[in-house]
Amino acid sequence: MTIVTQVLLFASYVILGLAMAIIPPRLFGMPEQMAQLLGVIVFFGAWQIQNMFTVRRIEKETSARVAVLEDVTTILRGDLERTRRKTDKGDEKSDVLVSELKVLHTLLTQVMEREVELKAKPGKAPAKRGGKAGRLEPTEEEVLALSLEHADKGKEDQPVAVADVATAPVEEKVAAPVVPEASNVDGADLDIEEIELTPEEAAMAVVDEGDGETMEPVQQDVVPEGVEPGSAVSGRAPRRPAAGSAGVRTAKKAQIRIIKREDQLLSVVRSSLAENRVDLYLQPLVGLPARRSMHYECFSRVRDEEGRIILPRQYMKVAENKGLIGTIDNLLLFRLIQLVRRLGKRRPKVRFFINMSRHSMEDEEFFPQFVDFMSANTEFRDRLVFEISQEDYYLLEGDVKDRLLALGRKGFGFSMDLVKDFNKDFTILGEHKFQFIKADLKDLQLAHPEEGDVEAFKSFIRRHGMQLVASRIESEDDVLEALEAKVEFAQGYLFGEPTSANQLSSEF
């Protein structure tokens, strides 16, 4: 409204008020004071009514302008996001190039240092590499050792960082980190506790007593083809044999080496790490009732110099005690990242569960670097699920849980494994970005004995963003029980044993 219009309206209201103050006394004999009061009321009332309509009109115009501004802002945000994505792609290519140059520079530096060492020790012949003695050619072990920035060789229990090498192209060859030198183990007769073997594992196992004699197969009852193996070896309930393992050894599978002495086991683990003999194995998590592979859990397998497998449950405790578990975790993570990069956009809903040990999470050097690396590479958040056992999680300090929560806020998910105590507050787990709750089927049934209890628990955790996984499904009876309980996901040897990631390439 212009100033002229406001002046004219003001004048009209004055004239109307004067008219109400002058005309009624002359025509109707109204007292002059009352007429004057009526004129003042008419003037101010008309003025306020005009102001009210003006304010409403201004509010409507302002709302329309705000709506237009919001639309423009949305368009600008879209343009900004597209620009940011293009910039990020250019930054990723630059990071890959920088990573390659850094590895190459450090590798050449170590080669020069190695030449100096060899000149200082003329009595020690250089190791053979690539089949040619005396040739100082960089090995795969050196590449990963350098790219993992494992510079502090004297710290035996310090895990290595994966930030530099994980951003390298997937075509690079995987190599093993530098492993701390083996320390003298007092007491050469340190025996390792007996481990349980499944019938399939027992069929492939050989025992190494550590006395230098020929290794003997594990004593077992050979099960005829088509007959379910019993539980005499493993102590578990019978289950249907996996394909290709019904009482006979399959030539395609590597033997399992059972080492009886701790010092010998430690030596084999160190040698395997130094010579890049740590493999990524995957076991499927299937959806019920279709039994289709939906996700995969990741395991590490250590091979000795003859290609025989050392089971994780045999070497895990020794590796933790000697500070090697962080190195193994890093190798497993690095190989998984390579697999995810090769997988690309194929099967976008597939998630990979990778176990995190309490030893690694409590390491003040490794874990903050690990969190920073993952936070800076959020493209993995839709692929990786970090799995923590219930016992380990509730033993973690508050600052470690805070770092995990920070990782969860970046979009990464967590899975709680080996759940046995169902009286914990699962609501808090949902708030801390846990997406899966995994428990043995027998433990689920023991904690929820009444019909419908398991389904009620599944519905409860689903309301808080988590899904239930029943593990150790080893027979068709177990499958029926899981279906009756309305379990969503299942895992066990019945659906598939851990298999080398290279052999599963066709499925991806």
Per-residue pLDDT, averaged over 58-63, amounts to 88
Q: Which of 422, 431, 503 is nearest to 466 (CA)?
A: 431
| Cβ(266)–Cβ(254) below 8 Å | no
20: how many CB neighbours lie within 10 A of its CB?
Answer: 19
Question: pTM for the whole thing?
Answer: 0.59
Q: At what angle do helices 3-28 and 32-120 cross, to 10 degrees?
A: 160
- Residues 6+ away with beta carbon under 8 Å from 50: 9, 13
Higher-confidence position of 179 and 200: 200
Amino acid, single-letter form, for residue 138: P
Q: Round to whole Å and give the CA distance between 66 and 475.
A: 64
Confidence label for 216 from pLDDT (cuts 50, 70 and 90)? low
User: 235: which DSSP letter?
Assistant: S
pLDDT of the residue at 274: 85
Q: Which CATH superfamily is domain 275-507 in?
A: EAL domain (3.20.20.450)
Give yes or no for residue 422 having a pLDDT over 80.
yes
Highest mean pLDDT among 107-116, 247-256, 377-386: 377-386
User: 395: which DSSP letter?
Assistant: T
Give yes or no for residue 5 having a pLDDT over 90.
no
Dihedrals phi, psi of 56, to nearest 5 degrees:
-60, -40
pLDDT of the residue at 403: 92
Q: What is the pLDDT of residues 65-97, one digit of tens each?
A: 888 888 888 888 888 888 888 777 666 666 655
Structure tokens at 201: 């594992």
Confidence label for 354 from pLDDT (cuts 50, 70 and 90)? very high
**Considering the chain, what is the average pLDDT of its residues?**
75
Q: What residue has token string 């007769």?
A: 189
Confidence label for 268 from pLDDT (cuts 50, 70 and 90)? confident
Confidence label for 226 from pLDDT (cuts 50, 70 and 90)? very low
Q: What is the pLDDT of residues 139-156, one digit of tens each?
A: 444 434 443 444 344 444
pLDDT of the residue at 223: 42
Amino acid, single-letter form, for residue 116: V
Q: What is the residue-wise DSSP string for 341-367?
A: HHHTTSSTT--EEEE--HHHHT-TTHH
pLDDT of the residue at 370: 87
Query: Percentage of the chain with pLDDT > 70?
Result: 68
3-state helix, strand, coil in the chain (%, to 5): 50, 15, 35
pLDDT of the residue at 432: 93
Instruction: Name residue 310's beta-bridge partners.
Output: 302
Q: What residue has token string 């006394």?
A: 25
| Cβ(409)–Cβ(374) below 8 Å | no
Q: What is the residue-wise DSSP string for 94-149?
A: HHHHHHHHHHHHHHHHHHHHHHHHHHH-TTSPPPPBTTBTT-----HHHHHHHHTT
Higher-confidence position of 436 and 199: 436
